[in-house]
Structure 1
Amino acid sequence: MRVMVFVKATEDSEKGFVPTPESRQMLEDMGRFNDELVKAGVMLAADGLRPSSAGKRVAFNGDKRTVSDGPFTEARELVAGYWLWEVKDMDEAVEWVKRCPNPQVGPSVIEIRPLYELEDLMADIGP
């Protein structure tokens, strides 16, 4: 099963990366954790995202498109980074996340979401 693991943004992460002793230590810890994921064959992809101030949103309404520039409000609803993992089940994904060092300098949240696989969609559509 593939899962997307989201590191939720914080007010601090929305300020952009600021090199401090704490942030450097966090990056070193995350690097070691990522190495474990790679060695275990779990990690398929991973990256950190720049703050929402560097982003854009495109809203759809029928054939109309509206583009908005960042930054976006409610940092806790934004994503600061992600992993794409291949795990046997959600329990394994949770166990990996529980081993993860704190991905932010302060309090943080990680969300795990399973991806649809082709067979999931085909089961609902039928032959």
Structure 2
Amino acid sequence: MVAVISVSLPDDLVKKVDRAVEQYGYRSRSDLIKTALQTFLEGEGNKSSGNYRLIVVLSDHKASPYVDKNIVGLIHSYSEELIALYHQILQGPYCITIAVVGGKDDWRTIVRKLRSLNGVLGVQSLPI
């Protein structure tokens, strides 16, 4: 059985979805959105056998001058789980922070808190 759900999207996101459908060869918007949701849910829910997570954060220090300090500080506050931390300035006002964390499910809390920071453009979490 397949459930039909309605999702409201801003016009600019619909245009991006339509471009991605054409560019990546999806049959429809629904197929692209299904794939995106499956990828997101599998990435958020899976654990690797080593129980490590790679957390990648893209930030804009123009939107929030202290965002990078807040990101690094937040990740450091989980020092018992922290395996590695890397921060790189990118072009323009952007930075990327990459952390490898271990431990139980604390990565979920870290990701949730990172996503709530002003100036964070995106957070991805992957099992490794």
Bigger relative contact order, structure 1 or 2 (CA pairs below 8 A, ≥6 apart): 1
TM-score (norm 1): 0.46
By percentage of residues, which structure has more strand?
1
TM-score (norm 2): 0.46
